[in-house]
Amino acid sequence: MNEGTEPKQLLHLVFGGELTHVDRVEFKDLSKLDIVGIYPDYKAAYDAWRGKAQASVDNALMRYFIVHMHRLLDPEKGHEPDHH
């Protein structure tokens, strides 16, 4: 339970993979997706995403994404300020 001292968990999934084309979000091989992890807040997810994105910068087809899982789990209450 949230006792008021801990921040609310706003789960985020970071994952990536090689795309079939730079203009589409369609993965070349779903069995090779890189599931980086699930993070308790946007900042932690962004830090993980940034590290993976920078490490794969030489491959134009390799892309990493942040999915706001908390919005999928509770779409009416899962809103947070956008940090983009």
Residue 49's contacts (CB-CB under 8 Å, 6 or more residues apart) are: 14, 36, 64, 65, 66
pLDDT beyond 80 at 79: no
Digit-coded pLDDT (tens) for 3-55 = 566 678 899 999 999 999 999 999 999 999 999 999 999 999 999 999 999 99
Q: In terms of pLDDT, which residue wins out, 63 or 79?
A: 63
The DSSP secondary structure of 14-72, one letter per residue, reads EEEEEBSSTTS--BS-GGG-EEEEEESSHHHHHHHHHHHHHHTTT-TTEEEEEE-HHHH
